[in-house]
Amino acid sequence: MLTTHPFDDDKLREECGVFGIAGIDDAAAMVALGLHALQHRGQEAAGITCRNGKEFYSHRALGPVAGNFDSEEIINRLRGDSACGHVRYSTTGAGTLRNVQPLEADLASGGFAIAHNGNISNALALRDELVRHGSIFQSTSDTEVIIHLVATSKYRTLLDKFIDALKQVEGAYSLICMTAEGMIACRDPLGIRPLVMGRIGEAYVFASETVALDLVGAEYVRSVEPGELIVVTNGELRSHRPFPNNQARPCIFEHVYFSRPDSIVDGSSVYSVRKGIGAQLAIESPVDADYVIPVPDSGTPAALGFSEQSGIPFELGIIRSHYVGRTFIQPGDGVRHLGVKLKHNANRPLVNGKKIVLVDDSIVRGTTSLKIVQMMREAGAAEVHMRIASPPTMHSCFYGVNTPKREKLLAARKSIEEMREFIQADSLAFVSIDGLYRAAGEDTRHDLQPQYCDACFTGAYPTVLTDRDGEEETDQLTMLNERSDSSGTARDHEPSGDLPRLKQSAN
């Protein structure tokens, strides 16, 4: 089955987006809009929970926000002045509605709902312990351990119970919680996943990305900071910092692909960073060609940067179908080979006889890249050069991003030359890890204490991974040693970025 799914099978996928608003009429309608703006972060399922007085009301659905949350009937059932919501990639199969967030529970203190972007890396261990003491889980979601830790905490206030719970979990989490009394937004100590705060009138808004603020008409205030816990009660906001200080390690892949180009992530314009990566690529790996052609849509900003830096004209050599929101399941065996064409079509009259540079954001399995190169050749391209606006993706993510198993990652199995051969390009180059950091506004990567989580490129995981102990140990050790320079130039081995992680695990 080949699809025109906007989550291309050959991309990494952000697993979630979260949105919350406190202190406004029709809060749920605002959340529906906010989730629609975050739809690119997960379209398999969505949910909204709102609070009206002490009562919580929820609606969850498999599928996208549009069509599920835009009817008067649904929104009218979700009355209240506070609401939070969640979009989710991933879960498949029957009965998965139980895993759709926000998760919700009736605690002794009243209702409690939680929407989570990220991944708890010791969820299994915590779950076993909780079940042994009589907790009954409703879902298979890692997020549910947080609720049970809160429910069974011996502390007295809900805030203390919540902090008690967070101190027991490892991994990545940007959370928006709704309690009987207010809303809590927080970000894990390393700030791996993004979370921003905005205002609209008297109301506070929290969202994974600023585009969601734009759509609801909220003003962007600032990012929630790594390790920060913000409580909104009766229109008042308090910031807590319950964790020891830590160097932040936000995910750099948000800049490469996950976030929308019109978002501001941790202070930087994603569009500018992407253009900068394209320019870096043109500097690091120039090529003689007639046209720079983006692989739409995610490769477009980097292609513009490459074109500007190199002076090679930018042209639309690949036309993307307008109907990418719909999955087309190809019927019949006879047409199985068509593949990527359902989504992209070559602009034949333009490409024919020309030397072209294709610019894409990343290579995961490489199957799409191969098909696009072939499509260009079939359309008559004389030379096809591929430039990738990220270093080779060599490691799985355990922080809320769906990555194929390592052995499926093309870069984990092949050298750059072998990859070039696989995708049948005339040349292939990736931006260097330092080039990437430079485009993100850093002078260079500080290898001892990297400014970002770049584990997918370097294997330098910033936290312990309890649930994967044993199973992944050899693999991780390997990772520590294999940090390779993605620009293709060999580099000396140096102290890896995961040392701080060992320290963090001692907290």
* Single residue of 326, 446, 493, 503 touching a copy of itself by CB under 8 A: 326
* Single residue of 231, 324, 359, 456 touching a copy of itself by CB under 8 A: 324
CA atoms within 13 A of residue 275's CA, in its CB half-sphere = 13
CB 151 within 8 A of CB 57: no
50 classed as catalytic: no
How many Å is the maximal CA-CA distance in the chain?
Answer: 73
Query: Per CB under 8 A, does 202 bind a copy of itself?
Result: no
Please report which residue ranges of 38-100 form alpha helices under DSSP H: 72-77
Rounded Cα distance between 118 and 16, Å, is 7
Binding mask 342-361 for a copy of itself (x = CB under 8 A): x--xxxxxx-----------
Report CA Rg, the chain. 23
Query: Per CB under 8 A, does 377 bind a copy of itself?
Result: no
Query: Per CB under 8 A, does 362 bind a copy of itself?
Result: no
Query: Per CB under 8 A, does 201 bind a copy of itself?
Result: no
Query: Per CB under 8 A, does 301 bind a copy of itself?
Result: yes
Token output for 480: 């520590």
Rounded Cα distance between 317 and 296, Å, is 10
Query: Per CB under 8 A, does 211 bind a copy of itself?
Result: yes
Query: Per CB under 8 A, does 308 bind a copy of itself?
Result: yes
Query: Which residue spans within 347-445 are E strands per DSSP?
Result: 355-360, 383-388, 401-402, 427-430
* Single residue of 10, 44, 56, 69 touching a copy of itself by CB under 8 A: 69
* Single residue of 9, 137, 442, 480 touching a copy of itself by CB under 8 A: 137
Rounded Cα distance between 324 and 330, Å, is 14
Query: Per CB under 8 A, does 334 bind a copy of itself?
Result: yes
Burial of 506: CB neighbours in 10 Å, binned 0-12, 13-18, 19+: exposed
Q: Is residue 456 annotated as involved in ligand binding? A: yes
Distance in Å, CB of 330 to a copy of itself, minimum: 7
SS (H, E, C) 37-49: HCHHHCCCEEEEE
Q: Is residue 84 annotated as involved in ligand binding? A: no
Rounded Cα distance between 368 and 388, Å, is 13
How far is the CA of 63 from the CAs of 89, 97, 249, 430, in angstroms?
A: 9, 11, 32, 34
Q: 469-478 long-range contacts, Cβ below 8 Å, gap at least 24?
A: 475/406
Between 218 and 252, name the residue whose CB sits nearer to a copy of itself: 218
Between 329 and 490, name the residue whose CB sits nearer to a copy of itself: 329
Query: Per CB under 8 A, does 75 bind a copy of itself?
Result: yes
Binding mask 395-414 for a copy of itself (x = CB under 8 A): --------------------
Query: Per CB under 8 A, does 473 bind a copy of itself?
Result: no
Between 34 and 497, name the residue whose CB sits nearer to a copy of itself: 34
Distance in Å, CB of 214 to a copy of itself, minimum: 5
Between 307 and 484, name the residue whose CB sits nearer to a copy of itself: 307
Query: Per CB under 8 A, does 94 bind a copy of itself?
Result: yes
Binding to a copy of itself, residues 260-289 (CB under 8 A): 260-262, 264, 269, 271-272
CB 96 within 8 A of CB 90: no
Query: Per CB under 8 A, does 319 bind a copy of itself?
Result: yes
Query: Per CB under 8 A, does 458 bind a copy of itself?
Result: no
Rounded Cα distance between 20 and 232, Å, is 11
**Backbone torsions φ then ψ of 236, nearest 5 degrees:** -110, 145
Given 16, 50, 177, 186, the catalytic residue: 16
Token output for 224: 């929630």
- β-partners of residue 61 are 46
Q: Is residue 266 annotated as involved in ligand binding? A: no
Q: Is residue 298 annotated as involved in ligand binding? A: yes
Strand, helix or coil for residue 326: coil
* Single residue of 44, 315, 360, 361 touching a copy of itself by CB under 8 A: 315
- C-alpha of 412 from chain center: 21
Query: Per CB under 8 A, does 65 bind a copy of itself?
Result: yes
Distance in Å, CB of 482 to a copy of itself, minimum: 34
Q: Is residue 360 annotated as involved in ligand binding? A: yes
**391 cis-preceded (ω within 30 degrees of 0):** no
Annotated binding site: 251, 298, 360-361, 397, 453, 456
User: Which residues belong to the active site?
Assistant: 16
Annotated binding site for Mg(2+): 298, 360-361
